[in-house]
Amino acid sequence: MNSFTEENYLKAIYKLIEQNDEAVSTNAIAKKMNTKAASVTDMLKKLSDKKLIHYQKYQGVTLTAKGEKVALSVIRKHRLWEMFLLEKLDFKWDEVHDVAEQLEHINSDKLIAQIDKFLNYPKFDPHGDPIPDVNGKIQTQKSKSIANFKKNDVLVMTGVVDHSTAFLQYLDKSGLALGNEIKIKEVIEFDRSLQISINKKTTIFISNDVAKNILAITK
């Protein structure tokens, strides 16, 4: 079996590869893991010995099939637990992450299969991220940041890029939630900020910084 630490490294590497689709650097991992490059190098050696990553000194790392399987399993558990906390235990979407960060390391196939069933096999987590199935297969959404749409586009909010408590609470306060209809009423040329309407009712202004972190698809 793999330790919590190993699982966290594999998940971090998976997400970094997902972002740029290329081998990830020691420094990138160190930043993501809140640790030092020297510690990362030590861990890379260990993960390489265990055939979980492809690693050659100075060349960055990618995941082996085996390593990717572990990463996807951890992500699956994380997102299912987030969904469970939200749906069954009345957690808010800004409260689920930290607890899921712990629960994702619980080791029991039956447990996670039963949670999945209990939730009726959800496909996306509270932040709109896809939940890998038991074989690691992911159902992708072709959503884009709403900063990429233009005036009069009518959208459905499907996810967020930033998962921080501060950002999620700001969205709550603004009345923005997954599934909401968002219409681009105005794009301010100067700073790319937006005027948008939510569910045909309230109209709000959001900065380009915020817009970039909201994902949606055309309705």
Partner DNA sequence: AATATTTTTTAGACTAGTCTAAATTTATTT
Partner DNA sequence: AAATAAATTTAGACTAGTCTAAAAAATATT
Provide the 10 A C-beta neighbour count for residue 161. Answer: 12
Structure tokens at 168: 């999620």
Tell which positions 99-138 bind DNA, by CB under 7 A: none
Q: Could you tell me whether strands 61-63 and 203-206 are parallel, antiparallel, or unpaired per DSSP bridges?
A: unpaired
Tell which positions 72-101 bind Mn ion, by CB under 5 A: 82, 101
Tell which positions 122-141 bind its own copies, by CB under 8 A: none
Tell which positions 14-73 bind Mn ion, by CB under 5 A: none
User: Which of 76, 77, 127, 183: binder of Mn ion (CB under 5 A)?
Assistant: 127
35 binds DNA (CB under 7 A): yes
66 binds DNA (CB under 7 A): no
Cβ atoms of 203 and 195 within 8 Å: the answer is yes
CA–CA separation, 73 and 8 (whole Å): 11
CA–CA separation, 141 and 132 (whole Å): 13
80 binds its own copies (CB under 8 A): no
User: Which of 15, 45, 92, 123: binder of DNA (CB under 7 A)?
Assistant: 45
The nearest distance, CB 172 to its own copies, in angstroms, is 17
Cβ atoms of 68 and 54 within 8 Å: the answer is no
Window contacting DNA (CB under 7 A); options: 54-62, 97-105, 123-131, 200-208: 54-62
Q: Could you tell me whether strands 144-145 and 61-63 are parallel, antiparallel, or unpaired per DSSP bridges?
A: unpaired
Cβ atoms of 145 and 214 within 8 Å: the answer is yes
- Is 140 buried (19+), middle (13-18) or exposed (0-12) by CB count in 10 A? exposed
Window contacting DNA (CB under 7 A); options: 53-61, 123-131, 155-163, 205-213: 53-61
CA–CA separation, 69 and 9 (whole Å): 13
The nearest distance, CB 54 to Mn ion, in angstroms, is 23
58 binds, among its own copies, Mn ion, DNA, none (CB under 5 to 8 A by kind): DNA
Tell which positions 1-60 bind its own copies, by CB under 8 A: none
- Interaction site with its own copies (CB under 8 A): 85, 88-91, 95, 98-99, 102-103, 106-108, 110-111, 114-115, 118
